A and B are shown apart, each in its own frame.
Chain A
Amino acid sequence: MDPQLVKIAMGGLAVLGVIGIVFGIGLALAAHKFHVEVDPKVEAVKEVLAGAQ
């Protein structure tokens, strides 16, 4: 294997990994900060319904 290609591949892996982690943490923080209370009854009713659609 050409070491140049290995280097590029490693760079790609690192970049994608870092971007994924950063975006994930950012979204998790945003979701935590802008959390909306959802009525638990909605989920319960959905659970009981047939749910074909």
Chain B
Amino acid sequence: MVRYKSLAIFVLITLFITVSNVWASAGSFIKKASFLKKDKIIIFFAGPVDKKIVEDIDNYYVYESTDPDIPLKIKGASLSEDGKTLILTFTEELNQHSPHVVVIKKLVSAGRNLGVASFTVRKSYAGFLFSILIGAMLVHNFVFTKYLGLCVFFGTSKRKATAIGMGITFTIVMVCSAMISWFLYNYVLKPLNLQFFQVVIFIGIVSLIVQAVDIILRKINPFLFKAFGIYLMLVLANCVILAVPLLIVVNGYNAIEAFVFSLGAGLGYFLALFLMSSVREKLELANVPPSYQGLSIAFITAGLFGLAFMGFSGMSIF
């Protein structure tokens, strides 16, 4: 029991460190700093600071951590009434995806000189990963907004049980193949200038994973294997599975981001299959006109789902 408790505390602390926006390195006097809107940085101090020195624009040196020799132009600095909150306004919009370093050359609080304070402002990485996950799952859902993988989608969404099994298989195959593809692309293809081979190699990897799942599933769970039938082999030539590693290459994700992206894509496909199968099970009881029965009403349902998922478009998180 004690072990679990300490583990939970450890996990909480790690989460806290990842989620907290800022590492105040030099000045522990700076409590928190984060981006505000598109062109502002807000800084919270532990105590009231001297207004005259802090509101001087020349007192700051702000740059993106990738280009330390290009200072960003500051339009103004305004301190709040209690002297604890400072808002820096910049002349141009900030590129909030890269961390920014702020150097305050002189900081005076209640007559005491605190010297130089320098700290980094960055968006939380956990939030970025979360936005990738939600983006791949809902905002850019592979079925309803990218229209990929429709043959398997219509084929296996008749029964809930099949849909769930298929969704899980899809997610596993997707994550495995995306991770192996990412590794091969970055450590084998890139150094050898063989990027034009990516499609051939990715298809090979997908077929390897599908064949392996086929062999292992046949032994471990013959009932699920029977339920999949032909559709397991359809995964092999499925466009979603191939699209994920290609999109990872296009977006230039690193290993963690690639993992999260492929997981989100798999879960999104799972979600689409589950929703569709739930509706189609109900549709069998409905009084559908003869000319719409079967696949045609399924296409109409999928279209309505697509419309509903359009509500997510343009949404940005963090």
Interface residues of A (CB under 8 A from B): 8, 11-12, 15-16, 19-20, 23, 26-27, 30-31, 34-36
Contact = CB atoms under 8 A, between A and B. Distances in A.
Given A8-B193, A8-B194, A26-B208, A19 B215 contact: no
B24 to A, nearest CB: 47
Interface of B: 184, 188-189, 192-194, 197, 200-201, 204, 208, 211-212, 215-216, 218-220, 222
Contact of B200 (A8, A16, A26, A35): A16
A12 B216 contact: no
B193 A34 contact: no
B219 A11 contact: no
B194 A34 contact: no
Contacts of A20: 204
A16 B194 CA distance: 11
B217 to A, nearest CB: 9
Contacts of B192: 8, 11-12, 15
B215 A23 contact: no
Contact of B194 (A12, A26, A27): A12
A16 B197 contact: yes
B216 A23 contact: no
Contact of B215 (A15, A16, A27): A27
28 contacts: A8-B192, A11-B192, A11-B194, A12-B194, A12-B197, A15-B188, A15-B189, A15-B192, A15-B194, A15-B197, A16-B197, A16-B200, A19-B184, A19-B204, A20-B204, A23-B204, A23-B208, A26-B208, A27-B208, A27-B211, A27-B212, A30-B212, A30-B215, A30-B216, A34-B215, A34-B216, A36-B218, A36-B222
Nearest to A9: B194
- Most chain A C-beta atoms within 10 Å of own C-beta, residue among B188, B194, B204, B220: B194
Contacts of B204: 19-20, 23
A20 B201 CA distance: 10
Contacts of B218: 34, 36
Given A16-B201, A20-B204, 10 more contacts: A11-B193, A12-B194, A15-B194, A16-B197, A16-B200, A26-B208, A27-B208, A30-B215, A34-B215, A34-B219
Nearest to B200: A16
A17 to B, nearest CB: 12
Nearest to A22: B208
A36 to B, nearest CB: 5
Nearest to B191: A11
A25 to B, nearest CB: 11
A23 B184 CA distance: 13
A29 B127 CA distance: 41
A26 B211 CA distance: 11
B201 to A, nearest CB: 7
A22 B284 CA distance: 48
A27 to B, nearest CB: 6
